[in-house]
Structures are given as C-alpha cells and as structure tokens.
C-alpha cells in the first residue's frame, strides 16, 4: 500500500470517528468499559496501519486482544463487527479507499481466531472435532431435504475446493478450511422456494432476486452456530466478483478473502459441468474456457490457473 496520508489532526478525527461508531453499535464484552478500550485500541491500530502502510501489526494486536481479554467470543465478535463498521467509514474517504482492501486481511485473521478458539473450547469441554463435522452434516441434511441437487453440488464443491487449495500449496488447516467453506457455501438455498430452485427454465428478474438472497440467508443460518461461524464469509460472499459487480456486498479484489475466491471458482465450475433442467452440462474443458474468459473480472486468475491444473491432472 502506498503512503496514504500525512497524518495529523485529520487522523485524530478518524480515530475518534471509528471508536465512536464501534461503541455506539453496542457490540462487545461487558463491562462496557472493556468494549470502549477495545474499540479505541482497534481504531488506534487501524490509523497506525494507515501511517505505516501495513496491517500486519493490526493482525498481531487482534491476536493479543483475543488472548488477553475474556470472554474471548465476545471480543472476537466485537472485532468482527468493528471491521464491518470501519469499512464504509474508510470507503467514504477517497484518500483511504485503498486501505479498504486490507480489511479483508483482518477479517480473515479474525475468522481463523474464531476457528482456533472454537476448537480450543471444544477440547476444554471434552468434545471432539466431530462436533464441527456433526454441525456441518446437520446443515447438509437440511439442504438434502430441500433440494438434493444443491446438496450434491455442495459436496462436489467442497472436494474441488480442497483440490484447489492443495494445488495452491496451502497448509493442511487452510485446505480443510477451504473444503468446509465449499461444503457450506449454499446452505441458504434450504430456504429458497423449490419452484425457483428447481424451475425447468431460466428465472425471471424477480425470481433471481429471491435466489440471490440465499447468500445472506446462508450467512445468517451459519452465524447462529458458533462452531461454524468462520464459514459465514463463504456463504455470504461466494457470488462476489473481483471487479466489484457481484452480490450481496459488491466487494472487490482483495476484499474477498482467499478461501471465498476458491469457493467461487469451484462453485461456478461445478455448476457449469452439472446438468440443469433447462440445459445440458458443459464439458470440463468448455467450463475451464469460461473460467479463463472471465479471469480478472469475475474470478481470481491465480485460482483459475490452479483449477485448470487440478482438472487437467484429473483427466
Ligand atoms: Fe450460491
């Protein structure tokens, strides 16, 4: 990131604006004093990151805050909310817009922190990792009931995500994270009317609007289950595009976390090679061509390349 600002009084104002916005939302741990301390710390680090051009220090601070303050879940929830609140504030200032991209790094760090602490909590309550598996299986069973084709698609997307992540040389944890994100990305379709999901034709504009809601609905469903909260981003953002023309939040480029960009490619590829009531399946090579055509606008070119390698090796 380039030097964004000459910091001075403007940034004391920004620090104050961020802190006040975060505190006024009423998120955060009790007592409220701790919420205020965290909001001020977060805002300080964000402004510091704008000065230094790097967000690594903020990530380190988030880790420390999660270690230091209890209850951890509330601390993490608050910091997550703080990222969301900071986004439009930074976006509203032309000179800070580049920094918005880096919030995705923070959100990813928070997602991993949630996952780590969820696993830690499970260990300390003598529960096993299979509880995450059980919670995921519950969602998949509901999706199977609502629309078996969507459940089958989700399982396939999970497998593609794992293969792509391996091809990108991500570590085992990241590969599992990507695979689970793929598996859960479409759970919101549980609530989409069957006549829309299974329409034997293209959808009307109005039906598309209903269909698109599966992103927010899925995110809300996943958010209800603390163990699965790290997967909220994949459910909400897997129809975002690199060029900012996706939905529901019109994120762009690095605002979209890596694991979500993996899910997007896997999802579109698997949808194209699958049968739909109103069209024949595409061949894998034709589907890859589509990914290549839309790399850089819809898809991350690095992930399209990894997907091509995965498919060609499978051949
Ligand atoms: Fe979807």
Whole-number percent of the chain with pLDDT over 70 = 85
36 with 50, same domain: the answer is: yes
297 with 216, same domain: the answer is: yes
Q: Domain for residue 3, yes or no?
A: no
If you measure from the C-alpha of residue 193 to the centroid of ligand 1, how many angstroms do you get, rounded to a whole number? 14
CATH number for the domain spanning 210: value is 1.10.3210.10
Tell whether the model's pLDDT for residue 74 goes beyond 90: no
90 with 156, same domain: the answer is: no
Number of domain units in the chain: 2
Q: Domain for residue 114, yes or no?
A: yes
Q: Domain for residue 23, yes or no?
A: yes
If you measure from the C-alpha of residue 152 to the centroid of ligand 1, how many angstroms do you get, rounded to a whole number? 13
258 with 288, same domain: the answer is: yes
If you measure from the C-alpha of residue 147 to the centroid of ligand 1, how many angstroms do you get, rounded to a whole number? 13
Q: Domain for residue 2, yes or no?
A: no
If you measure from the C-alpha of residue 138 to the centroid of ligand 1, how many angstroms do you get, rounded to a whole number? 18
3-state helix, strand, coil split of the chain in percent (to 5) is 75, 0, 25
If you measure from the C-alpha of residue 236 to the centroid of ligand 1, how many angstroms do you get, rounded to a whole number? 9
Q: Domain for residue 4, yes or no?
A: no
Gap between the Cα atoms of 88 and 96, Å rounded = 11
pLDDT digit string (tens) for 5-27?
444 566 888 888 888 888 887 66
Closest to 153 in 3D by CA, of 70, 79, 238: 238
If you measure from the C-alpha of residue 250 to the centroid of ligand 1, how many angstroms do you get, rounded to a whole number? 15
115 with 139, same domain: the answer is: no
If you measure from the C-alpha of residue 238 to the centroid of ligand 1, how many angstroms do you get, rounded to a whole number? 6
| Residues ≥6 apart with Cβ < 8 Å to 293 | none
If you measure from the C-alpha of residue 5 to the centroid of ligand 1, how many angstroms do you get, rounded to a whole number? 39
Whole-number percent of the chain with pLDDT over 90 = 41
If you measure from the C-alpha of residue 109 to the centroid of ligand 1, how many angstroms do you get, rounded to a whole number? 24
Question: Containing domain of residue 157, as a range?
Answer: 130-314
Last residue within a domain, chosen from 93, 124, 155:
124
160 with 185, same domain: the answer is: yes
164 with 116, same domain: the answer is: no
Which span out of 10-14, 198-202, 271-275, 286-290 was modeled with the highest average pLDDT? 286-290
Q: Domain for residue 1, yes or no?
A: no
Tell whether the model's pLDDT for residue 289 goes beyond 50: yes
If you measure from the C-alpha of residue 289 to the centroid of ligand 1, how many angstroms do you get, rounded to a whole number? 21
120 with 134, same domain: the answer is: no
Query: For the residues of 5-42, what is the DSSP string, one character each?
Result: ---SHHHHHHHHHHHHHHHHTT-SPSSHHHHHHHHHHH
If you measure from the C-alpha of residue 37 to the centroid of ligand 1, how many angstroms do you get, rounded to a whole number? 38
67 with 216, same domain: the answer is: no
If you measure from the C-alpha of residue 113 to the centroid of ligand 1, how many angstroms do you get, rounded to a whole number? 25
Q: Domain for residue 68, yes or no?
A: yes
If you measure from the C-alpha of residue 90 to the centroid of ligand 1, how many angstroms do you get, rounded to a whole number? 29
Residues lying with their CB under 5 A of ligand 1, a single-atom ion: 186
Mean pLDDT of 228-249: 93
| Residues ≥6 apart with Cβ < 8 Å to 43 | 14, 15, 16, 18, 19, 22
pLDDT digit string (tens) for 185-230?
999 999 999 889 988 888 999 999 999 999 999 999 998 888 888 8
Whole-prediction pTM: 0.65
Least confident of 55-64, 203-212, 218-227, 263-272: 55-64
Last residue within a domain, chosen from 57, 90, 124:
124
Q: Domain for residue 230, yes or no?
A: yes
Mean pLDDT of 281-294: 95
Last residue within a domain, chosen from 124, 151, 178:
124
34 with 75, same domain: the answer is: yes
If you measure from the C-alpha of residue 166 to the centroid of ligand 1, how many angstroms do you get, rounded to a whole number? 23
Bond from prior residue into 299 cis (ω within 30 degrees of 0): no
If you measure from the C-alpha of residue 173 to the centroid of ligand 1, how many angstroms do you get, rounded to a whole number? 24
If you measure from the C-alpha of residue 274 to the centroid of ligand 1, how many angstroms do you get, rounded to a whole number? 14
200 with 304, same domain: the answer is: yes
99 with 232, same domain: the answer is: no
């Amino acid at each position: 990131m380039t030097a964004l600002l000459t910091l001075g009084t403007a940034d004391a104002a920004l620090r104050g604006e961020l802190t006040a916005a975060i505190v006024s939302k009423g998120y955060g741990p009790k007592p409220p004093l701790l919420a205020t301390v965290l909001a001020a710390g977060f805002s300080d680090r964000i402004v510091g990151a704008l000065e230094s051009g790097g967000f690594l220090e903020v990530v380190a601070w988030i880790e420390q805050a999660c270690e230091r303050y209890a209850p951890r879940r509330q601390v993490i929830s608050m910091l997550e909310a703080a990222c969301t609140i900071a986004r439009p504030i930074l976006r509203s200032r032309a000179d800070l817009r580049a920094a918005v991209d880096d919030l995705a790094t923070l959100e990813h760090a928070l997602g991993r922190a949630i996952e780590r602490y969820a696993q830690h909590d499970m260990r300390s309550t003598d529960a096993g990792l299979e509880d995450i598996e059980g919670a995921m299986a519950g969602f998949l069973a509901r999706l199977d009931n609502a629309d078996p084709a969507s459940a089958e698609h989700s399982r396939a997307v999970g497998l593609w995500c794992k293969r792509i992540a391996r091809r990108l040389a991500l570590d085992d944890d990241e590969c599992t994270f990507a695979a689970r994100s793929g598996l859960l990305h479409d759970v919101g379709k549980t609530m989409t009317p069957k006549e829309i999901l299974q329409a034997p034709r293209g959808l009307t504009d109005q039906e598309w609007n209903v269909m698109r809601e599966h992103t927010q609905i899925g995110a809300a469903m996943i958010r209800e289950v603390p163990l699965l909260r790290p997967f909220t981003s994949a459910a909400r953002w897997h129809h975002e595009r690199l060029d900012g023309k996706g939905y529901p939040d019109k994120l762009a480029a690095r605002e979209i976390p890596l694991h979500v960009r993996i899910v997007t490619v896997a999802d579109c590829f698997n949808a194209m090679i699958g049968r739909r009531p109103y069209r024949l399946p595409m061949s894998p090579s034709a589907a890859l061509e589509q990914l290549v055509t839309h790399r850089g606008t819809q898809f991350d070119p690095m992930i399209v390349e990894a997907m091509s390698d995965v498919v060609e090796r499978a051949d």
